[in-house]
Amino acid sequence: MHGLFGGPKRQVFNKAYVHLLPEKPATIKCEACRIRNLSLCDAILPSELQELDELSSEIEFGANKNIFDQDELADAVFNIVSGVVRLSKLSADGRRQIVGFALPGDFLGLSMTKHNVLSAESVTLTRACRFPSVAFSELLQKKPHVLRRLHSITSDQLTLVQYQMVALNRNTVEQRMATFILTMRDRLRRTIGESNELPLPMTRRDIGDFLGMTIETASREMSKLAKAGVILLKSNGVSIIDEGRLKRLAFG
């Protein structure tokens, strides 16, 4: 069985991974974009779509490819069209903390800083819209309504990270794992729709690094939830069996 999300996980490993599509197709590709209304581009007026289209280029990353690195010059921002991206930070001693997973509709480069504040890697095969930083920055200058939307998304993100911080501190690993599964399901609902089957293409290490626990603990918690009949472990994700129980484990 192939991955539940974004196609097979490693078969694209050795292929060329960057495909720039033609920059000016016959039709305005932004018009057809399935995730536009989920993303920052929703702030773009219909009359401005052509302009946006000329700014962006579609780009594809195979699984486990580097999208950009922390502290490097940020030459572009991205809008995820499909796939899963892990966002990570390195601490002084070189250890890694995953600060989040970006899903279709999510924007990479919220902070518009000269240098990237974190690293981004594709987990699965990922397609994204790429905007050169300079051009995107000019767009923001010209269009305050887009800047307002960007700010709104950024502060939502701030709220989310603050929440994540609270959760990491005060909750047990069981609560955190349960919350993680529920949160991912909620976030994916808008792309894959209502489903009990949830793709989790990231590794146990990724999940552990995100939830502030070791890989072993992450695995144990998954097994524990499965044994308790709350979830079912699939090859590349989980099925939620008993949502009520899961919610009670996450909070309560």
Type of residue numbered 108: L
Task: Give the three-state DSSP class for 120.
Answer: strand
Which residues contact residue 210 at a Cβ distance below 8 angstroms, ignoring those fewer than 6 apart? 97, 98, 99, 100, 101, 180
Whole-angstrom Cα distance, residue 193 to residue 10?
A: 25
- Which CB, 82 or 179, lies closer to a second copy? 179
Burial 50-79 (b: 16+ CB within 10 A, else e): eebbebbbbbbbbbbbebbeeeeebebbbb
204 binds, among a second copy, DNA, none (CB under 5 to 8 A by kind): DNA
Type of residue numbered 201: P
- Which CB, 28 or 167, lies closer to DNA? 167
For the CB of residue 18, give the shortest distance to a second copy in the complex, in Å. 27
50 binds, among DNA, a second copy, none (CB under 5 to 8 A by kind): none
- Which CB, 54 or 216, lies closer to DNA? 216
What is the contact surface with a second copy in residues (CB under 8 A)? 89, 91-93, 95, 97, 99, 110-113, 117-118, 140-141, 144, 147-148, 150-152, 154-159, 161-171, 212, 251-252
223 binds, among DNA, a second copy, none (CB under 5 to 8 A by kind): DNA
Whole-angstrom Cα distance, residue 121 to residue 67?
A: 5
57 binds, among a second copy, DNA, none (CB under 5 to 8 A by kind): none
What is the contact surface with DNA in residues (CB under 7 A)? 9-11, 13-14, 172-174, 203-205, 212-217, 219-220, 222-223, 233, 235
